[in-house]
Structure 1
Amino acid sequence: MPFPEGVPSVPVRYSITSAAGGGPGEGTLQLMPTVPAVRIPGADGVFTGGGIYRFVDGQLADGEGNQVRLLPTNIDGANPAVWAWLGIESVNGSQPRHFYFVVDADATEVDLGVVQQLAPDLTQYLAVPGESAYEAWRRAGNDGDEADFLASLIGPPGDITAANDYTDEQLGQGLAAEVARANNAYDPAGAASAAQSAAIAAASSDAAGKAASAQAAAISAASSDAAAKASTAQSNAVAAAATAAASLYLPKALLTVDAFMAQSGTKVFGHRGAGMVCPEHTEVAYDYAIAHGLQAMELSVNVDSEGQLWCLHDLTLDRTTYNTGALNTYPSTGVAQRVLTNGRVMLGQGWTDQPMVPLRRMLDKYLGKVVLFLEPKGNDAVVPLQNLLATSYPHAPASVIWKAHVGTSFVWPKQQGYRTWCYVDDGSSNAVLDGKDSLVDYWGVSTSMSSTRRKEIAARGKPVFSWPVYRRSQRAALEADGVVGLMSSDPVYVRGTTAQATASRWDQQVKESGGTPQTDYNTDAALKFSETGGWVSINRARGTYGLGRYCPIVPGAGGYRIQIEMKYDQLNAADLAVHGGLYFGKASDDPYEFNTINPSNGYHLILRHNGVLRLYRHVTTQTGGIQLGTADIATDAPVAGQSMTIQIDVTPTTIEARRLGNAAWTTGPIADITNRGGYFGLSNGSISDTAARPFWRNLVVTQL
């Protein structure tokens, strides 16, 4: 989008090479200003710019003429006057790379491959010069130069000379008076001169005593006045220096909460980092989310027996690690050296075990760069977290959202200037919400909450975020209810709209983005990877698993084909009519289960243990499927452990399923145009004994 008239901009080019082979690369380039906004003389409002841009064949694809326009960093009269651009280069097949650069207002075009790229290990925050104490003194209405300012800090010195002059003057006057009094009292008829001498001596002693007292009092008063003025000046100078130092050295957020929320469109946050793609609340989960361009993520916090804070959702280690018991019974060194997460159980044995991650490491790594949701999950973690933020991260309120349940207190975070997200139970009443409303910036609703109730909470007028979101169909329903933020455990898939791949790599033994089990964060529903052969299965009775990574399928002019190998390692001799297979043709990635009312229409292919092949159409109004074609397709009975290849062809007008190996093992083209959705997945069909479940491998989706 072009900049308004009067706002300067410079076209910027950049090209990348592939990590493998050195040819044109593909990936993304995220461009971010290192300040929240820039005010430009003569232009209304403030400006930023930047965004996330794709590379195609090594060139920027989202700009105009393979270029984007950015604000120069040295615009005359701009506020701030000193800043830079941050570039985050993510080349497919390489780790993301961060660099800083400046854009000259006089340049006709800037090639980022030519300009100086400032190293990311340099300071990542720009110093904002503070006001000197002398300038503050002048701004307060005082006249004079720096010498006058320094003099005002100390005040007039104790004036001993003046005190001495005063004393001498008083002494002289006292003596003269006493002499006069003595002379008047002198008896010329013969009074003794001794009386005169005594009178003079007494007067002299009295005057000397008074003079000494006056001198001491004058010195004391002058000293006290100078000390008070010096103390006041010192306090003022210290306060001014502290303010200037804070302005100069306190880190500035590259992305504030308010700037993030001001962006258009639905916001997607990393739930537990990216807990359904990487081991939850580990550094690799957080890195995955940020490397894929997310600008906000959640950090759950608990505390060990020594008061150190760790990123952990549960109070105990039982679910997510190989250890057991409450975290607050473990010493810090034990957690750091001996506790490993067991993400392999849910995400595949291809994962290596990950260590627990201290909260400080993540704050040092990401605070200010992205928006962080912080939540102390246990009561004993609240005060340590508050103390850590107050003492070590006083700048945190700019880029942290305090996250907590409706049943907890929000007084402290609001007093400290934090934005707050209050997530509520499905049954929380309006009275409960009213009691928290003044302390809440954003409301949280669950995906299990009714649509009607979500709309009621959205109608309260504050932004609403929902959790846990791991399907695109959930996103569509939530957006329709007025939800503007999604806490997602698979954020890359949820925010996307296209397929990420057309062929499986299950031999890697790691869960893929876009895999949608029937239940999130559930090891029973997770995809299971065989130790050899690249086979996968669902170890759950009648279980299904969505293959969103390959969805929606993009058909060619003649449609598309799904081909996959399938086997049964054990056959159910007592009931050879049980079956597994594939479901497909759905317009949504909502969960599917055989012989059940499902939320959307589609098709279902089954292959029974006796070799019978069938196609069904399923609808949302009945549990049983509607068989397509008039006859069962009898194929050879499966042999335990032996691979079979299944193929489905979907054309604009027909559906056909076949088992390869015999030309007769096909339904033939069946005229049916009912469903042409692009979502599909794996199904255990009618199988309740998981020992007899099907296994799949080598999925390939091709256009026809």
Structure 2
Amino acid sequence: MTPSPISRRGFLIAGLSTALLAGCTAVPGSRSAPTTAAPSASPTLSPSPTPSRPPAPSSIPELLARERFYVGHRGSGDNWPEHTLTAYRNARAAGADAIEISVCATSDGVLVCHHDLSAERVLGVDKKIADMTWSELSALQVDARSWLGVNTPLEPVARLEDVLRELGPEVLVFIEDKQGTNTMPILDVLDAQARSTERFVWKQWAPAAQVRAAKERGYRAWGYFDEEQLDRLDDFAATFDILGVPTGASDELIQQVVGTGLPVMCWEVRFHDQVERLARLGVTGMMCSNVGYLVDGRPSDRDAFATGRRAAGDLPSAIDTLGWSSQPAFVPSRESLRIQSARATSYLMGSLAAAGKRLRRLDVTIAWPDAVPPSGAAGVVFALSGDGPGGQGERGDATGCQLTLDGSGTIAIAPYERGVTGSPVSTGKVEAPAEGSAVRLRIDVDDDHVRVTVGERTALEAVLEASALRGPWVRLFKDDKTDQAVEFSGLRVAFR
């Protein structure tokens, strides 16, 4: 894509093309360093308090009366292993107003909390849940390590009745029959719960027929659908109490659904940018897979790579197209994040973003542990005004500033405006990175001024429009078309 012209009051370029021969150091834990060092301590939380929220609603009418509410999608599956008791508990503790549970039945009729019809994705067995006994299924464990990180604990498969008993009579639940054949058994279980019609919502694909049985028993219902079923909107509005469309639907479609006058809840919500857009369009319900970030929202001042587990708010840009396979690997022994993709991609460090603050300093180490690619680059987009996906090279649609390091040792600063990288405004040089070596960078931001140092030497300085440096978000990116891995480590942030 050809960069578009950037509107700004002008750039003061003070690029210092100084070769900083001391700029490259060994990658922690690489072949030239021990790999058995103990992981660093857990990230410390910044002093920013958790945003105040009202107490959790005690009934569905109270929930729907709120200006905005959050439902933990699959128990907030971007934060904890989906549809496990651990996920449901943690989503609730993190501030979810309700949780969402998908239900399947085993061959011997046991109702379990599970999204897919198959056991393959999260349980590792290519077999339908409906063809497995509870004895077979209970011997397996939910494995979300490829999505949440190598040190994510395995979790047991949860039975619906056990989950409802453990959660207690106060938790609000959206519940769905994923197989479409268990409506009556599920309703029987719900009927046996205290205050059942006050705290359960029947969830289903809107064109399906199960809603009749749920409504006959007094339950409210949420019907979700796509644009292909929009011609049935009037019918859905007369049938359901809440309507749902995906977050990727057009503004026009969402406004049309909101125009029915019914509460609207969109799925699946992961980013602050999505929440703001949906709220502007009149959506009140957020079916949220990232409760730990959007609702709990306590930022850290450093990365959590050493833990081998993904921090809330850190997400790969290719989630919607590649799913779980888009998650880069954690390398706890090197306290790093390893991105190895033969495509341009980025990784949002939402866990470091102090909403409402302005970035003052960012430290980051970049290394190519196996081989330095012959072309392309890696770097960070920082001080971003938003956290939504998209943009050139999957670096987001927001405005900020981009730092790039290539295999020759050239460092460049460029404006990043509304998802498009502008022309570099300042460049500098360090010693060309070598396999297994690392470049430690410090970026200092002061109003419209950016200074990059490597070691004790200034690599470059630049002045940009202050609007390019106003946000708190950071993205790590890889911008070459090879499958050579790049690793990021040692991220530290400070705000003002």
Task: Identify whether the pair has TM-score above 0.5, normalized to the shorter chain.
Answer: yes
Aligned match of 1:470: 270
- Across the aligned residues of Structure 1 and Structure 2, the Cα RMSD in angstroms comes to 2.6
Aligned to 2:491: 699
Are the aligned partners of 2:106 and 2:132 in contact in 1 as well (CA < 8 Å)? Answer: yes
Say if 2:114 is the partner of 1:319.
no
Q: Distance in 1 between matches of 2:357 and 2:417?
A: 23
Flag the 1:671–1:274 CA change in 2: closer, same or farther, 3 A: closer
Q: 2:478 aligns with which of 677, 680, 684?
A: 684
| Matching of residue 450 in structure 1 with residue 271 in structure 2 | no
Give the structure 1 partner of residue 241 of structure 2.
441
For 2:63, the equivalent position in structure 1 comes to 260
SS of the residue corresponding to residue 234 of structure 2 reads helix
Is 2:71 the partner of 1:269?
yes
Give the C-alpha shift of residue 28 in structure 1.
8.6
Number of equivalences: 445
Distance 1:594 1:448, change over 3 A: closer
Taking the aligned partners of 1:293 and 1:618, their CA distance within structure 2 comes to 34
1:126-205 → structure 2 map (5 Å cutoff)? none
- Aligned: 1:508 with 2:307: yes
Deviations 1:396-416 (A, max 9, x none): 212100000012121111110
What per-residue deviation string (whole Å, max 9, x for no partner) do you get for residues 45-70 of structure 1?
A: xxxxx944xxxxxxxxxxxxxxxxxx
Deviates more, 1:450-459 or 1:516-525: 516-525
Q: SS of the residue aligned with 1:524? A: helix
The one-letter code of the counterpart of 1:393 is Q
Aligned residue type for 2:259: A
Q: How far apart, in 2, do the equivalents of 1:299 and 1:440 lie?
A: 19
Q: Of 83, 86, 107, which aligns to 1:281?
A: 83
> Paired residue for 1:591, among 389, 392, 397?
389
Q: CA deviation at 1:281?
A: 0.4
Larger RCO, structure (CA 8 Å, separation 6 or more)? 2
Identify if the C-alpha distance between structure 1 residues 277 and 456 changes in structure 2 by more than 3 Å, giving closer, same or farther: same
Q: Distance in 1 between matches of 2:340 and 2:485?
A: 7
Partner of 2:466: 673
Aligned equivalents of 2:407 and 2:87: distance in 1?
40
Match of 1:645 in 2: 440
Confirm or deny: 8 A CA contact 1:472 1:495 kept in the other structure.
Answer: no
The one-letter code of the counterpart of 2:424 is Q
Larger Rg, first or second structure (1 or 2): 1
Q: Quick one: structure 1 residues 598 and 379, their matched pair in 2 at CA, closer, same or farther if it must change by over 3 Å? A: closer
Contact 2:76 2:288 (8 Å CA) reproduced: yes
Identity of aligned residues (%): 22
Q: Deviations over 1:550-572 (max 9, x none)?
A: 1146768xx61100122101334
Shift of 1:620: 3.5
Contact 1:554 1:560 in 2 (8 A): no
* Deviations 1:266-312 (CA, angstroms, capped at 9, x unpaired): 10110000101111001111011111232201000000010000000
Gapped regions of structure 2 (runs ≥ 5): 1-46
TM-score, normalised via structure 1 length: 0.60
- C-alpha distance in structure 2 between counterparts of 1:518 and 1:493, whole Å: 16
Q: CA deviation at 1:518?
A: 1.4
Q: What is the CA distance between 1:628 and its match in structure 2?
A: 1.2
Change (3 A) 1:699 1:29: closer
Larger strand share, 1 or 2:
2
Counterpart contact for 1:598–1:619, Cα < 8 Å: no
| Distance in 1 between residues matched to 2:488 and 2:244, nearest whole Å | 39
2:220 match:
419
Query: Is the 1:302–1:313 Cα contact (8 Å) retained in structure 2?
Result: yes
Query: How far off is 1:643 after superposition?
Result: 2.2
Within 1, Cα distance between the matches of 2:366 and 2:127?
41
* CA contact 1:544–1:593 (8 Å) conserved in 2: no
Deviation per residue, 1:386-439 (Å, 9 max, x gap): 33334x337421210000001212111111000110001122223x12223332
Q: Per-residue displacement from partner, 1:15-38 (whole Å, max 9, x unpaired)? A: xxxxxxxxxx999999xxxxxxxx
Aligned partners of 1:503 and 1:699 also within 8 Å: yes
State the alpha-carbon separation in 2 of the partners of residues 554 and 645 from structure 1.
Answer: 27
Q: Rate the CA distance shift 1:271–1:519 in 2: closer, same or farther, 3 A.
A: farther
Cα distance change of structure 1 residues 305 and 401 upon mapping to structure 2, 3 Å threshold:
same
CA 1:307–1:467: 2 relative to 1, 3 Å = same
Partner amino acid, structure 2, of 1:346: W
Report 1:273-672 matches (<5 A). 273-336=75-138, 338-390=139-191, 392-393=192-193, 395-409=195-209, 410-430=211-231, 432-495=232-295, 500-520=299-319, 522-540=323-341, 541-552=343-354, 560-572=360-372, 575=374, 577-591=375-389, 594=392, 599-620=397-418, 623-629=420-426, 632-658=427-453, 660-661=454-455, 663=457, 666-672=459-465
Aligned-partner Cα distance in 1 for 2:121–2:212: 32
Tell me how far 1:472 sits from its aligned partner: 0.5
Distance across 2 between alignment mates of 1:292 and 1:301: 23
Counterpart Cα distance in 2 of 1:321 and 1:633: 49
- Aligned counterpart, 1:113: none
Aligned residue in 1 for 2:31: none
8 Å CA contact 2:305–2:331 kept in 1: the answer is: no
Cα deviation, residue 689, structure 1: 1.7
Q: In 2 relative to 1, CA 501–581 (structure 1 residues): closer, same or farther, beyond 3 Å?
A: same
CA deviation digits over 1:594-645, x for unaligned, max 9? Answer: 4579632222111101111111112238x5522112xx31211112112220
Structure 2 CA distance for partners of 1:502 and 1:597, relative to 1, 3 Å: closer
- Alignment partner, residue 240 of structure 1: none
What does residue range 7-22 of structure 1 map to in structure 2 within 5 Å?
none
CA contact (8 A) 2:254 2:281 kept: yes
The answer as to whether partners of 1:597 and 1:620 remain within 8 angstroms in 2 is: no
Would the alpha carbon gap of residues 344 and 258 (structure 1) be closer, same or farther in structure 2, given more than 3 Å must change? same
Shift of 1:531: 4.5
By how many angstroms is 1:370 displaced?
A: 1.5
Alpha-carbon separation, structure 2, partners of 1:562 and 1:502? 10
Native 8 Å contact 2:301 2:352 kept in 1: yes
Asked if structure 1 preserves the Cα contact closer than 8 Å seen for 2:151 and 2:308, the reply is yes
Tell me the amino acid that sits aligned with residue 628 of structure 1: V
The runs of 5 or more residues in structure 1 that have no matched partner are 1-24, 31-49, 53-87, 89-253
Q: What is residue 63 of structure 1 aligned with on the other side?
A: none
Report if the CA contact (8 A) 2:85-2:158 is conserved.
Answer: yes
Task: Tell me which amino acid in the other structure corresponds to 1:349.
Answer: V
8 A Cα contact 1:563 1:645, kept in partner: yes
User: Residue 111 of structure 1 aligns with which residue?
Assistant: none
SS in structure 1 opposite 2:389? coil
3-state SS, counterpart of residue 434 of structure 1: helix
Q: Is the 8 A contact 2:362 2:442 kept in 1?
A: yes
Which amino acid counterpart does residue 360 of structure 2 have in structure 1? Y
From the superposition, tell whether residues 596 and 546 of structure 1 become closer, same or farther in structure 2 (CA, over 3 Å).
closer
Q: Secondary structure at the match of 2:120?
A: coil
**TM-score, L = length of structure 2:** 0.84
Instruction: State the SS of the aligned residue for 1:495.
Output: helix
Change (3 A) 1:307 1:51: same
